[in-house]
């Protein structure tokens, strides 16, 4: 390293005092953090090939420059291994992209979290879970990478719950919300390849998102049957007004059923798009649209998302069980927040 | 064992922020209204505009609509406001 770490230093008595000190300073997400020592932070920076003062992102609304040094400190606190650092960096680049639109999803009463989908060889190398208990606990990379991003949002960008994070109910994904795609068993092109990257590249896709909504279908042995259950639930869920995108996560049994019928991701997207329209009449009757009901409202249809491509399809989840899920994006309208896929870069010389 | 830990936070960048002088009166002034796209924000701003004309003697009102509620007013609005109005009313209609 040619430059030095410049962050303020605090002497503490021992490990347990260090953990309590971090609480007292308001630096944690409510769980204990790993005290960030210089040695641990240096290891994080070296693993990513970044200089401490290097700017990774600039958040315009907050006028905050996010440097590698601050990301590394927060990644240590989250419990990341040094080799996770490039994934955290790519995710921060993603949420700083103007198309992701940091201010809205980070601040809104809508309570979105940052869903992160890891693709490519690095997902397996770093042991990101793409199978059983997909969104659940138990995998260090899934748990700590998302936590690191949230700690950066909190400690560097100022997204403090109750202050500049005003989620009305929020959801547990705000602790960490990271999955990988099951590229080994998936019959389809992985998400990052659909988005123009090569299979050999590794990426992280960030999407401002509500929690996962699970759906069940154990009866059908056809793609159409499984996806009909999905669409029925999707089009009537609580936030069917202005989501820019949805993510559909198809787990093992459903994935195989759909693949056995020969459906591609494009066909899934098209089917979901076509079968999740609501009539204006329905939206008015359920108090989601204002105005008096007219005869034309019965036949005037509104799509859930602007286009079939706005349904992201990801193969992930356990092999057993007739469950999959859909994840609504943050409800801010088409131009408010788009999912962004960033390359995970190895910057080491 | 004594140890030293690093601060994970940053100090926000400081920048001077000054307000333009407020007008003594709205009489004859041109009013700009910046609507944030949320339900009824256009209605409440239109009502405010009416009140400013009727009760405070403002000359006219122009309303602009932002791209969406989460972003600042875009450059076109800023440019037109600079050219064509004396006072701007903006806020969160929700």
A290 interfacial to chain B (CB closer than 8 Å): yes
User: Tell me, what's the pLDDT at B63?
Assistant: 95
Alpha helical stretches, state H, chain A: 15-24, 38-48, 68-78, 85-95, 103-107, 121-125, 140-155, 191-194, 223-236, 252-260, 265-274, 280-285
* Tokens matching residue A38: 């210089």
pLDDT of residue A331: 81
CB atoms within 10 A of CB B90: 18
Contact (Cβ atoms closer than 8 angstroms) between residue A210 and residue A221? no
For residue A1, the model assigns a pLDDT of 46
Q: Is B72 on the interface with A (CB under 8 A)?
A: yes
Side-chain-facing half-sphere of A286: CA atoms under 13 Å:
13
Chain A: closest CA distance from residue B74 (Å):
13
Low-confidence ranges of chain B (pLDDT < 70): 12
Our CA-based measurement puts residue A267 at a distance from the nearest CA of chain B, in whole angstroms, of 31
Tokens 């007292």 found at: A24
CB contact under 8 A, A103 and B70: yes
Predicted pLDDT at B11: 78
Looking at residue A334, what is its pLDDT? 63
User: What is the predicted pLDDT for the residue at A285?
Assistant: 94
A7 and B7 in contact by Cβ < 8 A?
Answer: yes
For residue A98, what is the nearest residue in chain B, using CA coordinates?
B71
pLDDT at A236: 85
Residue A5 in contact with partner chain B when CB distance is under 8 A: yes
349 residues of chain A, pLDDT tens digit each: 457 999 999 999 999 999 999 999 999 999 999 999 999 999 999 999 999 999 999 998 888 999 999 999 999 999 999 999 999 999 999 999 999 999 999 999 999 999 999 999 999 999 999 999 999 999 999 999 999 999 999 999 999 999 999 999 999 999 999 999 999 999 999 999 999 999 999 999 999 999 999 999 999 999 999 999 999 999 988 776 678 899 999 999 999 999 999 999 999 999 999 999 999 999 999 988 889 999 999 999 999 999 999 999 999 999 999 999 999 999 876 678 999 999 999 999 7
Residues A235, A240, A241, A246, Cα dihedral to 10°: -80
Give the pLDDT score at B17: 83
Residues 6+ apart with CB under 8 A from B23: B29, B86, B87
Q: With beta carbons less than 8 A apart as the criterion, state whether B32 and B89 touch.
A: yes
DSSP letter at A337 equals -
- Token pair in block for residue A305: 């998302």
**pLDDT confidence of residue A243:** 83
Q: What pLDDT score does A162 carry?
A: 92
Note the pTM of the prediction, 2 decimals: 0.93
Contact state of A10 with B7 under an 8 Å Cβ cutoff: yes
């Amino acid at each position: 390293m040619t430059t030095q770490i410049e962050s303020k230093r605090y002497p503490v008595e021992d490990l347990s005092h260090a953990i309590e000190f971090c609480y007292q300073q308001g630096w944690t997400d409510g769980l204990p953090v790993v005290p960030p020592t210089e040695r641990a932070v240096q290891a994080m920076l070296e693993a990513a090939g970044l200089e401490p003062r290097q700017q990774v992102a600039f958040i315009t609304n907050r006028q905050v420059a996010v440097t590698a040094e601050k990301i590394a400190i927060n990644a240590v606190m989250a419990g990341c291994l040094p080799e996770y650092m490039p994934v955290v960096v790519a995710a921060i680049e993603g949420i700083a992209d103007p198309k992701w639109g940091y201010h809205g999803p980070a601040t809104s009463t809508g309570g979105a979290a940052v869903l992160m989908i890891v693709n490519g060889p690095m997902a397996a190398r770093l042991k990101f879970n793409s199978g059983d208990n997909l969104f659940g606990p138990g995998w260090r990379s899934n748990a700590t990478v998302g936590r690191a991003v949230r700690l950066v949002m909190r400690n560097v960008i100022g997204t403090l719950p109750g202050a500049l994070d005003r989620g009305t109910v929020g959801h547990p994904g705000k602790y960490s919300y990271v999955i990988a795609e099951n590229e080994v068993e998936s019959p389809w092109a992985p998400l990052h390849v659909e988005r123009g990257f090569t299979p050999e590249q590794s990426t992280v896709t960030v999407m401002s998102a509500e929690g996962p909504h699970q759906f069940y279908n154990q009866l059908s042995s056809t793609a159409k049957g499984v996806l009909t259950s999905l669409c029925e639930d999707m089009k009537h869920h609580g936030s069917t007004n202005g989501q820019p995108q949805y993510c559909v996560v198809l787990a093992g049994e459903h994935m195989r059923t759909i693949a056995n019928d020969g459906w591609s991701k494009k066909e899934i997207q098209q089917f979901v798009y076509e079968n999740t329209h609501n009539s204006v009449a329905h939206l008015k009757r359920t108090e989601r649209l204002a105005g008096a009901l007219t005869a034309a409202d019965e036949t005037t249809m509104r799509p859930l998302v602007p286009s079939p491509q706005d349904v992201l399809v990801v193969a992930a989840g356990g092999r057993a069980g007739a469950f999959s899920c859909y994840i609504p994006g943050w409800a801010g309208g088409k131009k408010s927040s788009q999912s962004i896929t960033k390359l995970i870069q190895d910057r080491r010389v | 064992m004594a140890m030293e830990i690093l601060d994970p936070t940053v100090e926000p960048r400081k920048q001077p922020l000054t307000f333009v002088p407020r007008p003594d009166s709205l009489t004859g002034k041109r009013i700009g209204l910046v609507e944030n796209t949320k339900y009824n924000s256009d209605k409440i701003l239109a009502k405010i505009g009416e009140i400013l004309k009727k009760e405070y003697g403002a000359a006219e009102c122009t309303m602009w609509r932002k791209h969406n509620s989460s972003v600042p007013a875009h450059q076109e609005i800023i440019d037109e406001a600079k050219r064509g109005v004396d006072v701007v009313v903006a806020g969160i209609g929700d």
